[in-house]
Amino acid sequence: MIYLAAPYSHPDPLKRELRYQLVTDYAAALMRHGHEVFSPITHSHPIACRGGLPAEWYFWKSMNRAILAVCDRVIVLTLDGWKQSTGVHAEILIAQEYGLPVEFVALGAGPEQGEPFGETKP
């Protein structure tokens, strides 16, 4: 299963909503191509919004760590802010701890365009 990481937290709720939409669309594209995908943002964004829960990594980290343990690779969607993202950084470190390959993909690359996913780092 692919773990789809991307930046999420931002003080502007409209920016969080945009990131949610972009990562969810990419997860759907992967799934249309037969991949099993877990997108933590797609899962947690509506729960956080409707449930009044924190959006920050500290709240979701134990669940995301458990899910990473059953994944076989990580794709980092390199949306604006991914290099500064606490969550993305932590997810990459956990993936490396578990020996999972990590691929970096920009929007406009990948299954919808018939291109390779991106750069892989073991």
The enclosing domain of 10 has a CATH number of 3.40.50.10400
Cβ atoms of 19 and 6 closer than 8 Å: yes
Q: What is the pLDDT of residues 93-120, one digit of tens each?
A: 999 999 999 999 987 655 554 344 544 4
Domain tally, the chain: 1
Q: Which element (helix H / strand E) includes 96? A: helix 86-97
Q: Residue 103 sits in which domain range?
A: 2-121
Q: What is the pLDDT of residues 41-96, one digit of tens each?
A: 999 888 888 899 887 888 888 899 999 999 999 999 999 999 999 999 999 999 99
For the beta carbon of residue 10, count every other beta carbon within 10 angstroms.
Answer: 16
Q: What is the pTM of this model?
A: 0.85
Taking the chain, what is the end-to-end CA distance rounded to the nearest angstrom? 16
